[in-house]
Structure 1
Amino acid sequence: MENKRINGNDLIALGYKENFALGAALKINSKRHGLKKEEMLQKFKEVLENPESFLEDKVFRPLAESLINTEKIESSLVRLKEGVDDYAVYGVENIELGAKQQMNTAMKLPVTVAGALMPDAHQGYGLPIGGVLATNNAVIPYGVGVDIGCRMALSIFDLPASSLETQKDFFQEVIMKNSRFGAGNGFLKHERQDHAVLDNKLFEEIPFIKDLKDKAWTQLGSSGGGNHFVEFGTLEFAEDDKALGIAKGTYVALLTHSGSRGLGAMIANHYTKLAKEICKLPYQAQNLAYLDLNSDEGLEYWLAMNLAGDYASACHEVIHEKVKNSLGVERLAKVENHHNFAWKEELNGEEVIVHRKGATPAGKDVMGIIPGSMATPGFLVRGKGEEASINSASHGAGRLMSRTQAIKTLAQSELDKMLSDQGITLIGASMDEAPMAYKNIHEVMEAQVDLVDIVATFSPKIVRMADDGSRED
């Protein structure tokens, strides 16, 4: 596997430029072809110096053609704007360079109107996670993300907080009975739930969507892998909240985080590929390919995206109703918000398309939920409507390290002690979701005091995540 250690920086050091030829080289490198790292680097150097001599080579021909046709390819691409990097950044000292570079590129799109970077931001695909981008009548599938409409949902129950301790086994049983986790997982036919979202006419009108209906039905009411969860915890209100009708005190609450499952992932991949075929952007911006909302393709994606968002909401509704019925108690209030979505909103008196990839809507008086991690607090918040942030806030703490780095460097014993000290029961998950892999949620909240007010604090107590730590699909 030595060959896989070659990366873009290695090739740039050889003299490659950040263009489609670099992409072609990296694609070739991913298959190894029986060559060691040094041998592969030598080949890449030879092709760069004399691409014509590799036009008959089965392995390196695509790279040779890219190098020879670089000027022609680049002349056909959509031109980016120059020197545009004016956007609000919150918690800048804790945001990695890769996320800033991705946001800088997004700001140069010809359709970009405004942008902002939230304090939980980190590098992703296309827009960084925690990136907010307003565009002019254009939607970016990878600006929305793969897990379309991923959201938080919070139910507040009329139960004393102490019951989570005195009836711990019962609450664990309720979670296990009413949740299903992991990439690709769902329900057997006799277990499936019905929901009005499955009657949406788009399942019949759009051929691509029609083929996904059975998958959507199978996974309705389930949760993905990765950082998705279903958890019980205590929710503390320091004072009465008249808008919600909740008195000062501490309550039992159910908090869920998941998205549109396989339906959303397949919609995202299909329309991202389509956008890249239609909207030819420079190499560094290719994952930001956009669709004009006046085009058939743009309108179709917009409809499909909204369907995926409605489906994600339906998944949470099914879980929360099943849990409420199992508890047999009254629900005092429910709050829900989503991210990984695009909205039509008004900014500076003009209608724009606002992409929030891992960012929470935070318009004036808009309620939202910002979780920490499996062992750190989350917050019920109310937006302040800050225009500089494009009426947005963070969607969580944000990753401090990659999943791979977390698994390699973090100790299970450290996680076990943290959970034990805080009286938290964890069911499932792996070390890539350990709290130490995330930024300090208190620092993140401090960085966005101008964006949201904290209404209540959620403390996780019984946390259910995917057993294998699998990535969300």
Structure 2
Amino acid sequence: MEDLTFTPLNGRDLKSWGHVPGPQFPHLLARANQMLEEGKDVKDIRNDLSSEIPIPPEQIEPHEMGSVTFHENLIPADADEEKNLAKVRETMRAVMQTPTVVGGAIMPDACPAGPIGTIPVGGVVAAKNAIHPGMHSADICCSLMMTDLGDADPAAVMDAAARVTHFGPGGRPQGQRFTVSLDLLDAFRGNPFLNNAKTIRAAQEQMGTQGDGNHFLFVGRSRTTGRTAMITHHGSRGPGAKLYKAGMEVAEKYRRRHSPKTLKQNAWIPADTEDGCAYWDALQIIRKWTKTNHNSIHQATMEAAQASAGERFWNEHNFVFRRGDVYLHGKGATPGWSGFAADADAGGRTIIPLNMAEPVLIVRGTDAPHALGFSPHGAGRNWSRTEHMRRLGANTAEEALIEETAGLDVRFHAGKVDASELPSSYKPATAVAAQIESFNLAEIVDWIDPYGSIMAGDMPRFIRRPKGRR
């Protein structure tokens, strides 16, 4: 009797022929063994399957150091600023090596924000056909909104705002949540990056919250009109952080495949791919959620203070903007050109805070080419929190607050002063304002002089369980 037994082909055979393991592997192996059963020669089987060997992806090399340059809109005034600028230059030179990048700029408030090669605060990066999640950071669409409250008493507005707003981690408890429209939640569910139970839950729970860090609620008076104004500063909270994480995961897959020499923090999603289109749409949905978040706090405060609202406008500074086929990533930089967004109808004006003891600037952007069209988002820092605490010396944070904010109503939601948000922790406000004008980054059209502000403060440090324990 004829022996029809044969040794079946396996995955090692396919890999030795050049096939790459993946979802298609079981099907390929079944086809190969079917042909083998039919009596086909192994050489012929290999030849028949060769057309399905994937073409190696094109490898994109980083730019040579210095081949792509960036504009500097910062003149250091002292030794601290010299050191800060040297660090910003070092990290921006590394960012400019990213193969998609075609230009960059730094603002007067620039300061490092991570390992070398990470876009600094006050940095702008232009990229062709690429969205870099790491360049807008986890605090997507960090932004400012101002409402004119007319002749409302600033003290009454502060008290109302303290009752209304919410700082700290997490969201509002059940029974105290702000409503999120069904249309907005449907938009989350319709996007592959946002259609996640945890993301949607965060969108519901965290509406009407401001988080922590340098986010604030500021009340003051316009020098131009004498009217009371309220300004909020915060980003997209949990929903944005979850989108950032999902975006970085997708970008990393492209980086590993196409440009493994590119720094991980500068991985990108090609804008013209299905992933790129979906991520761009997700950014716009998160932007809408963030604007709604600001609006909810302003409206609730206005009603609690029994104030009448005049005009209201807003702008973001941790976001991606598109001009033609160039994607402009602003990390702590504010767009300064007319019509940068469909709802940016404020006569070209944007909002630049400096610190809690100084006026908030209302400016009109100049679309300066040496800033890629941007202006600063604030005052920036020259040193770390640890260094600032060292420089306070024997003074406590509470003593420094009294000294630095005399006459102002400054409140910390957690009850404890956050030393890293004291005015002295920021660059000198007058110097930043002067450089905005000297570099023609924006025209200052109004100053909102401070009455007071509310911030998160030093939040309790939560105890973490050791790994492996639940």
What is the TM-score when the length of structure 2 is the normalising length? 0.75
Alignment CA distance shift 1:452-1:214 (3 Å): same
Q: Take 1:128 and 1:294, find their aligned partners in 2: how far apart are those partners?
A: 26
Structure 1, 354-363 or 438-447: larger mean CA deviation: 438-447
Matches within 5 A, 1:280-429: 280=256, 281=259, 285-346=263-324, 351-364=325-338, 366-410=348-392, 411=395, 412=397, 413-420=399-406, 422-428=407-413, 429=417
Matches within 5 A, 1:92-171: 92-93=75-76, 94=81, 95-125=84-114, 126-159=118-151, 163-164=153-154, 168=155, 170-171=156-157
Alignment CA distance shift 1:414-1:193 (3 Å): same
Aligned partners of 2:135 and 2:329 also within 8 Å: yes
Q: Take 1:407 and 1:360, find their aligned partners in 2: how far apart are those partners?
A: 29
What is the CA distance between 1:91 and its match in structure 2?
Answer: 1.3
Q: Which residue of 2 aligns with 1:445?
A: 433
What is the CA distance between 1:380 and its match in structure 2?
Answer: 0.5
Alignment CA distance shift 1:207-1:139 (3 Å): closer
Aligned residue pairs total 375
What is the CA distance between 1:358 and its match in structure 2?
Answer: 0.6
Does the residue aligned with 1:447 lie in a helix, a strand or coil? helix
What is the CA distance between 1:196 and its match in structure 2?
Answer: 5.6
Aligned partners of 2:375 and 2:441 also within 8 Å: yes
Alignment CA distance shift 1:283-1:375 (3 Å): farther
Amino acid at match of 2:255: C
Deviations 1:167-195 (A, max 9, x none): x3x33320111100012243424533233
What is the CA distance between 1:297 and its match in structure 2?
Answer: 2.2
Q: Which residue of 2 aligns with 1:89?
A: 72
Aligned partners of 2:110 and 2:121 also within 8 Å: yes
Q: Take 2:372 and 2:446, find their aligned partners in 1: how far apart are those partners?
A: 24
Amino acid at match of 1:343: F
Alignment CA distance shift 1:141-1:470 (3 Å): farther
Does the residue aligned with 1:344 lie in a helix, a strand or coil? strand
What is the CA distance between 1:334 and its match in structure 2?
Answer: 1.3
Amino acid at match of 2:335: P
Q: Which structure has greater helix proportion? A: 1
Alignment CA distance shift 1:409-1:196 (3 Å): farther
Which has the greater radius of gyration? 2
What is the CA distance between 1:197 and its match in structure 2?
Answer: 5.8
1:264 equivalenced with 2:254 (yes/no): no
Q: Which residue of 2 aligns with 1:245?
A: none
Aligned partners of 1:375 and 1:424 also within 8 Å: no
Stretches of structure 1 that go unaligned for 5 or more consecutive residues are: 1-74, 238-248
Amino acid at match of 2:187: K
1:178 equivalenced with 2:161 (yes/no): no
Does the residue aligned with 1:382 lie in a helix, a strand or coil? strand
What is the CA distance between 1:469 and its match in structure 2?
Answer: 4.6
Q: Take 1:138 and 1:427, find their aligned partners in 2: how far apart are those partners?
A: 40
Q: Which residue of 2 aligns with 1:434?
A: 422
Q: Take 1:302 and 1:118, find their aligned partners in 2: how far apart are those partners?
A: 25
Deviations 1:244-295 (A, max 9, x none): xxxxx31111010001001101111221132123213566732111110122
Alignment CA distance shift 1:404-1:269 (3 Å): farther
Q: Take 1:369 and 1:118, find their aligned partners in 2: how far apart are those partners?
A: 15
Aligned partners of 1:226 and 1:470 also within 8 Å: no
Amino acid at match of 1:218: E
1:195 equivalenced with 2:171 (yes/no): no
Alignment CA distance shift 1:224-1:470 (3 Å): farther
Deviations 1:73-102 (A, max 9, x none): xx9974111122522111142343222222
Q: Which residue of 2 aligns with 1:459?
A: 449
Does the residue aligned with 1:331 lie in a helix, a strand or coil? coil
Q: Take 1:344 and 1:393, find their aligned partners in 2: how far apart are those partners?
A: 16
Q: Which residue of 1 aligns with 2:17?
A: none
Alignment CA distance shift 1:179-1:96 (3 Å): same
Structure 1, 75-84 or 210-219: larger mean CA deviation: 75-84
Does the residue aligned with 1:171 lie in a helix, a strand or coil? helix
Amino acid at match of 1:233: G
Amino acid at match of 1:91: L
Q: Take 2:58 and 2:112, find their aligned partners in 1: how far apart are those partners?
A: 28
Matches within 5 A, 1:29-44: none
What is the CA distance between 1:208 and its match in structure 2?
Answer: 4.9
Q: Which residue of 2 aligns with 1:58?
A: none
Q: Take 2:302 and 2:59, find their aligned partners in 1: how far apart are those partners?
A: 53
Q: Take 1:373 and 1:446, find their aligned partners in 2: how far apart are those partners?
A: 15
Deviations 1:104-152 (A, max 9, x none): 1222222112211111111114311111111111000011111111100
What is the percentage of aligned positions where both structures have the same residue? 26
Q: Take 1:85 and 1:470, find their aligned partners in 2: how far apart are those partners?
A: 44
Does the residue aligned with 2:172 lie in a helix, a strand or coil? coil
Q: Which residue of 2 aligns with 1:26?
A: none
Alignment CA distance shift 1:426-1:207 (3 Å): closer
Alignment CA distance shift 1:400-1:153 (3 Å): same
What is the TM-score when the length of structure 1 is the normalising length? 0.74
Alignment CA distance shift 1:217-1:393 (3 Å): same
Does the residue aligned with 2:449 lie in a helix, a strand or coil? strand
Q: Take 2:420 and 2:262, find their aligned partners in 1: how far apart are those partners?
A: 28
What is the CA distance between 1:371 and its match in structure 2?
Answer: 0.1
Q: Take 1:467 and 1:386, find their aligned partners in 2: how far apart are those partners?
A: 36
Identify the match of residue 225 of structure 1 among 205, 212, 215: 212
Q: Take 1:284 and 1:432, find their aligned partners in 2: how far apart are those partners?
A: 33
Q: Take 1:302 and 1:406, find their aligned partners in 2: how far apart are those partners?
A: 38
Aligned partners of 2:167 and 2:455 also within 8 Å: yes
Does the residue aligned with 2:195 lie in a helix, a strand or coil? helix
When the two chains are superposed, the root-mean-square deviation of aligned CA atoms in Å is 2.3
What is the CA distance between 1:233 and its match in structure 2?
Answer: 1.2
Alignment CA distance shift 1:334-1:381 (3 Å): same
